[in-house]
C-alpha cells in the first residue's frame, strides 16, 4: 500500500460522517425532488447511507482491494431495484460522493480514491444477478424451499420436523446443515429484495438455530481429541449462524467447541483463546467494515497465544476468496466439513489419539 493510500483510508474512516453530510447536501441540492420522495428525514436517510459507503470505501482502500467496495455497491443496486427506486438515483448518489471526495480530500489522495469509485460506477454496466439464490439444479434446493415456505406460514415446528425427517431418511448431516444454510442465504436475499419483513427473517433464523441445535444434540460424536476451538464473530458482526454450524461440527469431531457468538471485541477473542487454552480459533467477518476488527483480532490472538492456529471465514472472505491471505491467518474456510478438515490438519501434531 502506498503512503497516499494509507492516508486516504485513515481520512475516509475518521471523516466518514462529515463526508457523508457533504455528499448528502450535494445530492439533495442537485436533486431536490428526493426531499419529497424520501420524506421529512431525507437528509438523515442519505447521510446514513453515505456514511456506510464511505466506511466501506475506507476498508477497500485500506486493504488495496477494490472488490470490497464494488461488491457492496452491487448489493445496493439490487436493493434499490427491488424497492422501486430508480437506478438513476443510485448513480446520482455515487456521483455526489465522488464530487464530495474530490473536493474535500487532499490532492495526493484523490486519484487513489477516485479509482475505487470508478469501479463502483462500472457496476451499472453489469447484468443483475438472478432473483433467487437457490440453484434449481441442486437436488436439495427443493428441501430448502419447502423448509422456508413452512416457516413463513407460521409453522416452525413442522419445518424443523421436516428437516429431521429428511435426515432420518438418509440425508447426511453435512448435507442437512447445507440445506439449512442455503435456506438462510435465500431468506437473506428475500429480505434484500423487500419480499419479507425483518420479523419474518428473524423467525427463519431463530428456527434454523433451533434445528441446528437439535441435529447436533442427537448426532454421533467422536471421542474427545484433547483440543479446544473458539469461534467468534468480530466486533460489529451480528451474523453467526454459519459460524455456529462450523462450531457444531468441530464438537462432533471430538473438539471442545466454545462459540462466543456475535460482536466480540478483539481483546475478548484473544482472552477466550487463552482462557480455554484453545489450539484453534475461528474468526468470522461479514462486511468490509469488519476487516479492521478482524485484523486487530488476529493480532491480539497472535500476541497473547502465538501458537494458536487461526482460520478466517464469513461472507466478506467468501466474496473475495484470496483476501484472507492479507491477514496473518493460517487458512480460510467456507463450510463446516472444510473447516474441520483444515483444523485437524493445522493441529495434527497436538491431537490425542
C-alpha cell at 81: 431495484
Average pLDDT, the chain: 91
End-to-end CA distance of the chain: 45
| pLDDT score of 122 | 86
The answer to whether the beta carbons of residues 273 and 307 sit under 8 Å apart is: no
Average of pLDDT values for 210-229?
Answer: 96
Tell me the pLDDT band of 37, cut-offs 50, 70 and 90: confident
| pLDDT score of 272 | 98
User: By C-alpha distance, which of 38, 40, 59 is closest to 49?
Assistant: 38
The answer to whether the beta carbons of residues 310 and 281 sit under 8 Å apart is: yes
pLDDT in tens, 112-167: 999 999 988 888 777 766 555 666 667 788 899 999 999 999 999 999 999 999 99
Q: Rounded to an integer, what distance in angstroms lies between the CA atom of residue 297 and that of residue 312?
A: 11
Cα angle value 264/242/247 (rounded, 5°): 75
Choose between 352 and 160: higher pLDDT. Answer: 160
Q: Where are the alpha helices (DSSP H) in the chain?
A: 3-14, 16-30, 33-37, 42-62, 67-82, 87-104, 107-121, 141-152, 156-168, 173-192, 198-218, 241-252, 266-275, 291-304, 315-319, 336-346
3-state SS, residue 331: strand
Tell me the pLDDT band of 84, cut-offs 50, 70 and 90: low
CA count, 13 A, side-chain hemisphere, 44: 3
Tell me the pLDDT band of 276, cut-offs 50, 70 and 90: very high
User: By C-alpha distance, which of 60, 62, 68 is closest to 5?
Assistant: 62
| pLDDT score of 40 | 84
pTM: 0.85
| pLDDT score of 82 | 61
Amino acid at each position: 500500500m502506498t503512503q497516499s493510500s494509507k492516508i486516504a483510508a485513515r481520512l475516509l474512516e475518521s471523516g466518514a460522517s462529515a463526508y457523508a453530510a457533504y455528499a448528502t447536501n450535494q445530492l439533495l441540492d442537485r436533486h431536490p425532488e428526493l426531499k419529497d420522495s424520501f420524506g421529512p428525514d431525507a437528509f438523515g436517510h442519505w447521510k446514513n447511507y453515505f456514511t456506510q459507503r464511505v466506511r466501506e470505501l475506507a476498508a477497500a482502500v485500506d486493504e488495496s482491494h477494490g472488490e470490497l467496495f464494488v461488491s457492496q455497491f452491487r448489493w445496493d443496486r439490487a436493493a434499490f431495484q427491488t424497492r422501486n427506486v430508480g437506478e438513476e438515483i443510485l448513480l446520482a448518489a455515487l456521483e455526489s460522493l465522488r464530487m464530495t471526495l474530490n473536493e474535500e480530500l487532499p490532492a495526493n489522495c484523490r486519484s487513489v480514491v477516485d479509482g475505487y469509485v470508478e469501479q463502483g460506477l462500472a457496476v451499472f454496466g453489469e447484468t443483475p444477478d438472478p432473483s433467487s439464490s437457490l440453484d434449481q439444479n441442486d437436488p436439495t434446493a427443493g428441501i430448502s424451499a419447502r423448509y422456508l415456505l413452512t416457516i413463513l406460514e407460521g409453522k416452525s415446528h413442522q419445518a424443523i420436523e421436516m428437516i429431521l425427517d429428511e435426515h432420518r431418511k438418509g440425508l447426511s448431516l453435512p448435507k442437512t446443515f447445507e440445506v439449512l444454510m442455503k435456506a438462510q442465504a435465500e431468506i437473506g436475499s428475500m429480505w434484500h429484495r423487500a419480499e419479507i419483513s425483518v420479523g419474518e427473517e428473524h423467525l427463519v433464523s431463530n428456527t434454523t438455530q433451533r434445528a441446528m441445535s437439535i441435529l447436533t444434540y442427537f448426532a454421533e460424536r467422536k471421542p474427545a481429541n484433547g483440543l479446544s476451538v473458539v469461534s467468534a464473530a468480530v466486533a460489529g458482526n451480528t451474523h453467526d449462524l454459519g459460524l455456529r454450524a462450523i462450531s457444531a461440527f468441530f464438537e462432533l469431531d471430538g473438539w471442545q467447541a466454545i462459540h462466543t457468538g456475535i460482536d466480540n471485541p478483539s481483546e475478548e477473542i484473544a482472552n477466550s483463546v487463552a482462557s480455554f487454552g484453545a489450539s484453534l480459533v475461528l474468526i468470522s467477518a461479514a462486511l468490509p467494515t469488519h476487516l479492521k476488527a478482524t485484523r486487530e483480532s488476529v493480532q491480539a490472538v497472535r500476541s497473547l497465544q502465538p501458537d494458536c492456529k487461526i482460520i478466517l471465514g464469513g461472507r466478506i472472505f467468501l466474496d473475495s476468496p484470496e483476501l484472507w491471505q492479507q491477514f496473518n491467518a493460517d487458512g480460510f474456510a467456507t463450510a463446516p466439513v472444510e473447516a474441520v478438515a483444515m483444523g485437524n490438519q493445522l493441529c495434527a501434531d497436538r491431537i490425542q489419539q
